[in-house]
Structure 1
């Protein structure tokens, strides 16, 4: 049994209490380290703290249990048992201490590795930020480029849709893939869908279509090829076709992009201008012939009058001479009027009597109309005011209207000329009424268009009424037509009465003059 147990009791109790306290504190430290590590598992400091507290807990348990066991065995007279267990307890304490020290020493290396990992992580984060920025910039560039492409496509689509020429895309066989609204209208169709999928060359003459197709395949393009286009809605157009082959991966063209321009009006104008040039030449020839005829006519008239003076009272001879004189005078008037119409003069206005101009024109056409069984009637208003006008140009208007009326009459008929004066408006009206076939309502709005004619080629230029319209407008007047098919037509020319001070005579001016 131990001696002197009482003096050692406080020390033993303190040792036991300290050992228990060490166990409790090491457990609390271990729990705290675990809690911190759970919150920030990626933090190497907290990981080290868990390891360190684990070693500390092991050391505390080994040492504290050994001390408590020693006191219990010694106080129970089992010191010899403790003597056998003490080396084990010491070895466990040593192992625990070595473990704690190893953890501490190992941490420095782990910490350096951890720092390098942190730096690598930051580098990766910076790289990721740069990559994210580059991605954002790239996305913005792609978005901007997409917007630019969309705007460009929209712009060229507007050009495509709004072009006044036909624009088309087709394959080398001619199958239409896309076409603009002008092209749809030019082909005589109603919708784009009615054109897409059909062969463009079906609207062309077969020989011309083959020639265009082969030229595109061989040369890669065609330029301003004049073609005849047969519209689905009826009628033919003269067009200029240009096209360029678009090549794909192979050497053969994949598709053709092209334009078709309607030049029908231009071609008609060229033909009509050629006809007008011929008419001008004919006018010059007529003037020359008229001069040549005028000289012998003068001799005939002179000798006729001379023979009449010297002839005796022989009645039959005098009557024959008077007949010769009468017809020679008629021929002379016709020649003089022909000379008037053949002269090309600039507009020179003067005060003229419209009735005189009507008589001049009637004398020119009277014999021709009589032979063709077309009667001429005149109903001229008395006291018609004179107008400021170019007499040659107004004669031309009257002649054009009369000839147009004659051509509208099939067989026998009548053309009536009537004049009137509206004092309220200050307008003189000249009305030409024929008993012809009339004008269809669908073309009546076109009759004053240049080169518009319903006559076969070579039978008319389509310029007469258009020129007349321009002349009347140049005189501040109006020209219009009233017609019903099968009931004849009426052309009305209205010219203003111009006073000496340049004012038009209307109701207000007349009131001022009276007032």
Structure 2
């Protein structure tokens, strides 16, 4: 019986010893792996599992060996006392393996989070290290970019043709660009440039309520007392944190003046066409009335009342014909008889007979002619008519003693100018806008027809020129004529 059980006992003993050897080898291998990668939680977990299994293998194998030895020495009853302890050790080792496996999932999550944070810290460390190495280069690049941006906006501020003004919230000036310095006199408050203070207050209120204001037409005071119309836009600079206001001011005086000239030209063209029709229709009846009046006057007795009445009729009909003739001159579209002429000679002829009459009224006529002046291509008689009309108007505008200045010069290549300026009463803006309208006059009734400036305007236009007026109430008026040269 003992011989027949020998193979089983041999397998049990050899298997138990091999189990102990293999479990210890596995444990030793895991110890080495864990020592090489201490941060690897998987190796740590397998180390605990191998340790528990090694204990289980030793306990289990030792129990089998002891059992076989006790059976061999024929004391089996001892095994009955040892067996419960061996089973308890086996159970505890399995509980240990199960516990490690159950808690490993949570440990694994924590370990992954730790590794993720560690990688983030490592990346942050690398980024900080890179920034530390390249900080000086980055600062230089940012400084250069900031300098370029500042230079760009500074050039926009300085080279802008429009006026740029930076003020505080109450309108006190902080900065003004060169264009503003060229247009506006030095003042400490933006509102001081406005001719209408209430207009400025309305703009500031609109900015305070809405944060911005669109193009608003205002009148500003410029250098040398000049006033000009402008469009003002404003916006609050929120980014500055100081409540500053940025104003953009565009001078539109020249644009508006050009529009007014175009409107005047169109209006005069329309009135000219109407005047031509009316003049032709009226001129024929006036000629008939004048003819019959003169016939009746010849047949009337010299001392009779009828002849005196006919003389009155004749006088007024002749006056009407002169008005009609002026209308025809104003409306006539036929080109003047142009030829090269010396403008100074033409002016000299006009001043020869107008200066004496002006000096009798206590008015001094001062000529300030250029040394040399190119010839103009014009109808000299028409130009004389314009100059005489302007000088007569200047004489009427001066109440008492005063001066009339006649100035010539070269405006630009191909253009000469004549300026007739007086020290008279001047004109307000409303009167200035209507002076070229037919039949508009500021003279007393019966003194002027209101066609002088209209006809003068038409003559200068037919010569390809321009006529401008600058006038200030109480300071006088200046008419400037621009004419092309013969070239």
TM-score class, shorter-chain normalisation, is 0.3 to 0.5
Larger radius of gyration: 1
Question: TM-score scaled by structure 1?
Answer: 0.44
Question: TM-score scaled by structure 2?
Answer: 0.46
